[in-house]
Amino acid sequence: MSENIIVLGIETSCDETGVALYSQNNGIMAEMLRSQAEIHSNYGGVVPELASRDHVRTLLPLIRETMDQAGVQQEDITGIAYTAGPGLMGALFVGACVGRSLAFAWQKPSVEIHHMEGHLLAPLMEAEPPAFPFIALLVSGGHTQLIRANDWGQYELLGSSLDDAAGEAFDKVARMLDLGYPGGPKVAACAETFDHDPAVPEIVFPKPMVDRPGLDFSFSGLKTAVLNRIQMIKAEQGAIKPGDKANICAAFQRAVVDTLILKCKRALKQTGVKRLVLAGGVSANKMLRQSVAEQLSGEYDIYYPRPRWCTDNGAMIAFAGYQHFKRFHHHSGQPLQGSRGISKDMLAIKVLPRWPLC
């Protein structure tokens, strides 16, 4: 292995094609992202078959562009990291096939990365990364989890959503209100337009699961409360006005944010850990960041990835891959927990649409 480890990272688990090069000496050398939001927006959610087809069209040219931008040749690359799960089977398969085939053609090792480990480690790419141990709130479209990260690859699950993920709830509320896809940023933007008119009562939704002990989440009750409210308004006035939408979005966002923060506080207290990391698509949410700053930053150190590394991207996969290659290279020991190993063997290609991180 060369002195300067350079890893090509590939992310295709859902509706973003992400490619990046991470180098030991220079960090992220280049990164590219193609969003499929426009393709899926007509359907109000991700259409798996369309996602796979678009990854097929996009991935190879994007890898070429990323390498050109970084001025990196195939011989400079130490190894290839690709998301092997969890995610959409067909979408994952495109990244895995391309990653393994390039590794085979270039005679390089490849490593299968857990998508949520990518999210979890993304804040560690920043200039002032958190030290271990830290508590991580992973909030994405597919997952809502509280994790205690003790060291590289040493993760403990403290709590998770029993039903919908936080991002999924945002997406479904956006759909109920015809706000478009992806729903998180649309609901957040609509909530920002809420201008409280004292003559109209401000909606308050119950905070889900906060009265129950433990660190699990549930968002389906809140989603039903939103649906009931929409139906009630429609029955009363025939249609939903923009002001009603803003009122609902603000109340929904408040309930989600309050619940997430309450569970974070509980996890921090319970473990005595002083560092909190927020990652995954929903961690880009401005109101969540504001409320965390107000309620937690006095007592705890808070860490986020920059917004473009909150949502799916290739950089976090290249970085997680780099950590795996570096550790394997230096210690030549067993692959890290959470990794399915660094394989140089032939063309075995596997993906794991369901794959617990810990």
Q: Give contact residues for Zn ion (rule: CB under 5 A).
A: 140, 312
Among 18, 95, 130, 142, binds ligand KG4 (CB under 6 A): 142
Q: Is 205 exposed, middle or buried (0-12, 13-18, 19+ CB in 10 A)?
A: buried
The correct pick among 9, 130, 185, 338 for binding ligand KG4 (CB under 6 A) is: 185
CB of 100 to ligand KG4, least distance (A): 22
Q: Taking CB under 6 A as the rule, does residue 261 contact ligand KG4?
A: no
Query: Which amino acid type is present at position 351?
Result: V
DSSP state letter for 32: E
When binding is defined by CB under 6 A, the residue of 79, 95, 183, 305 that contacts ligand KG4 is: 183
Rounded-to-integer distance, Cα 15 and Cα 54, Å: 9
Nearer Cβ to Zn ion (316/342): 316
CB of 236 to ligand KG4, least distance (A): 28
Burial level of 183, CB count in 10 A (0-12/13-18/19+)? buried
Q: What is the DSSP secondary-structure string of 324-355?
A: HHHHHHHH--PPPTT---EE-SSS-----SS-
Question: Do the strands 79-85 and 110-114 form a parallel or antiparallel pair, or are they unpaired?
Answer: parallel
Structure tokens at 275: 């560092």
How buried is 38 (Cβ within 10 angstroms: 0-12 exposed, 13-18 middle, 19+ buried)? exposed
Q: Which is nearer to ligand KG4, 90 or 167 (CB)?
A: 167
CB closer to ligand KG4, 32 vs 102: 32
Residue type (1 letter), 139: V
Q: What are phi and psi of 101, to 5 degrees?
A: -70, -40
Binding-site partner at residue 147 among ligand KG4, Zn ion, none, CB < 5 to 8 Å by type: none
Judged by beta carbon, residue 164 or residue 244, the one nearer ligand KG4 is 164
In the set 12, 23, 161, 311, which binds ligand KG4 (CB under 6 A)?
A: 311
- Please list the residues that pair with 34 across neighbouring strands: 17
User: In the range 74-113, which residues lie near ligand KG4 by CB under 6 A?
Assistant: none
Identify the residue among 79, 95, 153, 184 touching ligand KG4 (CB under 6 A). 184
Total interface residues for ligand KG4 by CB under 6 A = 20
Please tell me whether residue 314 binds ligand KG4 under the rule CB under 6 A.
no
Cβ proximity of 219 and 208 under 8 Å: yes
Beta carbons of 303 and 133 less than 8 angstroms apart = no
**Contact status, residue 140 vs residue 169, Cβ threshold 8 Å:** no
Among 36, 78, 161, 285, binds ligand KG4 (CB under 6 A): 285
Task: Choose one: 46-54, 127-135, 140-148, 156-164; the region binding ligand KG4 (CB under 6 A).
Answer: 140-148
Q: Is residue 305 near ligand KG4 by the rule CB under 6 A?
A: no
Residue 312: CB minimum distance to Zn ion, A: 4
* Nearest distance in Å: CB 286, ligand KG4: 7
What residues numbered 31-60 form the site for ligand KG4, per CB under 6 A?
none
CB of 45 to ligand KG4, least distance (A): 10
282 scored as a contact of ligand KG4 (CB under 6 A): yes
Q: Looking at 122, 209, 276, 284, which residue binds ligand KG4 (CB under 6 A)?
A: 284
Chain centroid offset of residue 58 CA? 21
Does 304 engage in binding with ligand KG4 (CB under 6 A)?
no
The amino acid at residue 257 is V
When CB distances are held under 5 to 8 angstroms depending on the partner's kind, the choice from Zn ion, ligand KG4, none that residue 134 binds is none
Q: Are 323 and 121 in contact (CB under 8 A)?
A: yes
Beta pairing class for 144-151 and 154-160: antiparallel
| 141: contact with ligand KG4 by CB under 6 A | yes
For residue 31, what are the CA distances in angstroms to 94, 255, 268, 325, 348?
18, 35, 34, 19, 27
- Which of 54, 112, 244, 312 is in the footprint of ligand KG4 by CB under 6 A? 312
Q: Which of 49, 123, 148 is nearest to 310 (CA)?
A: 123
Q: Interface with ligand KG4 by CB under 6 A: which residues?
A: 14, 140-142, 167-168, 170-171, 182-185, 188, 280-282, 284-285, 311-312
